[in-house]
Amino acid sequence: MKKIAAIRLRGKFNVKDELKDTLTLIGLDRKNTCVVFKKATDTDLGMLKKAKDFITYGEISDETLKKLIEKRKLEKDTEKKTILRLPNPVKGFKSIKKGYKQGGDLGYRGEKINKLFERILQNLENK
């Protein structure tokens, strides 16, 4: 099973309590927090789908994950998941109100999440 990475793109304003609980269970309490599920279960994927209007997620490569961990301090690392705080990507986001398939940034993006992480890593290198 592939590793799944999720990043919270939207803040706390206008979040229903049920969705807030789901985001907390995932580990995405704050904006620009990243969670990497080392072995995502069906329950994890279900929670990600439920929170798709506040996050973006997809399959992260081992190489990209290694670079992220080298550049950022881990907030939490367990057998099941890794949590990191990230800056915005270089050139920012397209839209945090539209889904990925509609030209925005929210929801499932598959392997293409690695390109987003490359832009985030560029921002880290510029600092």
Residues 78-120 have pLDDT tens digits of 888 899 988 888 887 887 788 788 788 888 988 999 998 998 8
Count of the separate structural domains present in the chain: 1
> What is the dihedral angle through the alpha carbons of 112, 59, 119, 123, rounded to the nearest 10 degrees?
170
| Inter-CA distances, 95 with 3, 13, 37, 74, 107, Å | 25, 17, 25, 27, 12
| Residue 49 identity | K
Could you list the beta-strand ranges (E) of the chain: 4-8, 33-37, 55-59, 74-77, 81-85, 107-108
How many Cβ atoms from other residues are within 10 Å of residue 63's Cβ? 9
Residue 21 DSSP SS3: helix
Give the domain CATH number at 63: 3.30.1390.20
Range of the domain at 21: 4-126
Q: Which two tokens stand for residue 87?
A: 């800056």
User: Tell me: the pLDDT tens digits for 61-82?
Assistant: 999 999 888 888 778 888 888 9
| Strands 74-77 vs 107-108: parallel, antiparallel or unpaired | unpaired
Q: What is the pTM of this model?
A: 0.88
Enter the DSSP assignment of 5: E
